[in-house]
Amino acid sequence: MKDASRSNVVVLGQFDRRRAPPSPSATIVLNETRGMAATHLARALSQLMESGANELFDLAEKSSNTELRSLYMDSMALLRDRRDTLASSFKAHFALAFDKEVRGATAAGTRGVQADELSLVEPDDLEESLASANLANSIHGTCAEELFGIEKRMGVLLNDPELNMGRNPLDPEAISTGFLEALKESGCPVKVKLVLVRLFSNSLPEQARSVYRDINQFLVEKGVLPKIRASIRKNTERGTAAAPTPGADGPAGGTPAATSGGQDLFATLQQLLALGSAAAASGGAALASGGDMAAAMTGIQARGGLAEQNPEVFQALTKLQHGQLEGAISANSSLNAASLSNGNINVLREIKSSIAASSMGHVDAMTLDIVAMLFDYILDDRRLPDAMKALIGRLQIPVLKVAMLDKAFFSQRHHPARRLLDTLAEASIGWNEAEGHEGGLYKTVDDLVQRILNEFDENVEIFPTVLEGFLQYLAQEKEAAIALTGRSAQVIHHQEQVEIAQLVSHDEVRRRIQQHELPQAIRDFLTTRWKKALTAIYGKSGEDSHAWTNGLETMDDLVWSVMPKQSPDERKRLVALLPTLLKRLQDGMSSAGMAENERDEFFAKLVKCHSEAVKASLQSIATASDLAEEQTPEQRSSWFDAQKIDDGIPTLTDTVDAQGGFVEIPIAAETEETAPQLIEEITQANNEGPAQELALEPGWQGQDELSGDEYDATVKHLKRGTWIEHEQEDGTMARAKLAWISPLKGLYLFTNRLGARGLVITPVTLAAKLRNGQAHLIDSAALVDRAVDNLMDRLKTGAVPTE
């Protein structure tokens, strides 16, 4: 649908025109629609403010920046304490804006940028305006399908089918403006407003989408355009069709040709760039010409479809893309074939003085400026290895051509060309020179880039095709990496199971020794051989098994058998118990690897202990010669702990703690099958979304020792799949990805990109490394997101040099 507020053409006849008043029946429907929209949106905002307060609290806890933490807490307090007030204020402002638009208080001709509005604005006002525009853009992008149907239906109710004389009263701008006005009424600082708008830009669009769907359904039930006729816009000069609108039998909401979000963001970038250029030229004075600014802000051909281009410009750019300089650059240009192919320099800066740039219109020239600044950031991004960065840098001209064709590239995260850049960057994070340039990821990316350079002219469909192939390659790599990671996790899991078995067995034996005065021979046996047998049983069968219960019962029977027998019944019970007890002890000794001569020696001592137990009762004496001297339970426990019995199995946690850093884990043999639950855990770790967080199992090594500062909080909430850069023993830096967290003891397993070279570390030690600068997290935000954010910040602060 044509949107007059965004068109390059101003129809003079529309000045001072007003919409005809709606019919009485239409007025009733409009009033009901307004009430429904205002109520539902206010309720959604109230719910989002509740969840947003919790999210802000979590962000405050994780933040290491004092000022930022305070800002998050102030924002959280506003949502928590004034939620109902903000929701009511939003509802009132939204309803007021709806009524004003329905009455036609403004005309389409006055919606463009006026000369008296083009003076340089205060930074805070500009920040708020941009924040409001970005929130509206987010809603536009998410709700494009629903908005198409609403705009058609509201046009019918307002006697303005194409909305040429005003905008849709339910436009996303009405939502964003209403929210900003509610925040203004609260008197909160501008920084708090910006935090909240950015927070709600992630969650409000989906809520708005639900409301828009309900309104479409409501209007259909009221008989307002139950079906929407299909139409296709034609680009007559180029002979190509823009995206079609929905078919007559499509959903009630309809499907738009395209979303305007990308174009709006592009217009924002243009506005900032123009403001910066004008300020530099005039020394901060008001802009003199409104025409150029209006062109800068509204230079997009239409709300949907691909922009129209000068064929000569694209021909020259395609020549440069293929490395053909003749006829594409001027004689005095420093651009050469080597600079076009190496990818390490920003060739777009040189293209600005080329023959191709000389034929560009105003909008394309500004597009060139913006894409050049984006690649300034990309080529300076230390997150990317230099070799991979150079490959991505070779896509500068194709990306420029895409941006000239489709301004949605700037804001639609799922745009194929943008997704390709982001995916290339994400896959490159863990790559290093050791992988080589002749195969693997580097060769795959090199081939992919070369294919785009060779085949891309103006058909952007090559990007989803290439992206799909690259994603398939990465999926195969991930599958192999998960298998390798699983083998490292198997080693950790096995050693932790052994450690836990040792701890549990140790505690069970300790409790018996602490509770009873036992002969020395029995104490020695329990603290060495039987503890080892219990450890083997626990590690193999677990604590819920019959074997484990039988092992504990055997120990209890052994302890009872050597205690003084006070009655004939106890002596009879001992005689009845001995055959099965000796058999169970024999089996336990075998599983513990006790030699036959040692077994015979122990049984000889046991016979003596049993004899002394019977004599102690008959002779009424407290102890026998072979009993240990009388000790308190605390003394017996101290004696047991002082033995420091070595079961002959190394303790992984002790090794990690002793080394005070990362400990390399050997990869289990290929013949050893990895436990299925480990593969499932690792697969889930790789598929976790950004909202997922890991909470360590309480009670084990690492969790309880975290002291609670921001570094501990960061480690505690690390997501699996997070990349870190850490200092190695030789002082060099290496990158590793958090691949798995042991559910048993909370140890963190890091691997390289391919799942090899497993490194394990405790949470406490990792927090210490972050604290002292020996490790740091690698930003997980998508490449183009970071580049656009950086560009916005530079433009708003005037940090971008103008030519």
Per-residue pLDDT of 675-729, as tens digits, reads 666 676 677 655 544 333 333 333 334 444 555 788 888 888 888 889 999 988 8
Q: Taking 50 as the threshold, does the pLDDT of residue 422 lie above it?
A: yes
Query: Which domain covers residue 536, as residue numbers?
Result: 518-630
Q: Please tell me the total count of domains within the chain.
A: 4
Instruction: Lowest mean pLDDT of 3-17, 241-255, 772-786, name the range.
Output: 241-255
Last residue of a domain, one of 570, 595, 630: 630
C-alpha torsion sign, points 509, 513, 515, 517: positive
Same domain, 91 and 141: yes
Same domain, 173 and 155: yes
Same domain, 666 and 623: no
Return the biggest CA–CA distance within the chain.
124
302 within domain boundaries:
yes
Same domain, 719 and 762: yes
- Chain centroid to Cα 482, Å, comes to 19
Same domain, 609 and 711: no
Range picked from 8-12, 373-377, 484-488 for highest mean pLDDT: 373-377
Last residue of a domain, one of 202, 235, 257: 257
**pLDDT tens, 112-126?**
434 343 344 455 666
Same domain, 751 and 703: yes
Q: What are phi and psi of 761, to 5 degrees?
A: -155, 150
Sequence-ordered list of residues with C-beta below 8 angstroms from that of 752, at least 6 positions apart, any chain: 430, 432, 735, 736, 737
Q: Taking 50 as the threshold, does the pLDDT of residue 106 lie above it?
A: no
Last residue of a domain, one of 576, 595, 630: 630
Same domain, 618 and 664: no
38 within domain boundaries:
yes
203 within domain boundaries:
yes
Same domain, 201 and 83: yes
Same domain, 94 and 219: yes
115 within domain boundaries:
no
279 within domain boundaries:
no
The whole-angstrom separation of Cα 179 and Cα 488 is 51
Q: What pLDDT sits at residue 654? A: 59
pLDDT tier, 190 (very low <50, low <70, confident <90, very high otherwise): confident
CB-CB contact of 706 with 712 (8 Å): yes
277 within domain boundaries:
no
Strand partners, 627: 519
Token readout for 87 is 């929701």
Which H helix or E strand runs over 726? strand 723-727
CB-CB contact of 497 with 539 (8 Å): yes
720 within domain boundaries:
yes
Q: What pLDDT sits at residue 349? A: 84
Token readout for 737 is 């990805």
* Reported pTM: 0.57
Same domain, 791 and 741: no
Same domain, 616 and 684: no
3 within domain boundaries:
no
Q: What pLDDT sits at residue 146? A: 87
Q: Taking 70 as the threshold, does the pLDDT of residue 441 lie above it?
A: yes
The whole-angstrom separation of Cα 800 and Cα 257 is 34
State the average pLDDT for the chain.
76
**pLDDT tens, 260-300?**
444 456 766 766 666 555 544 444 333 333 333 333 333 32
Same domain, 91 and 192: yes
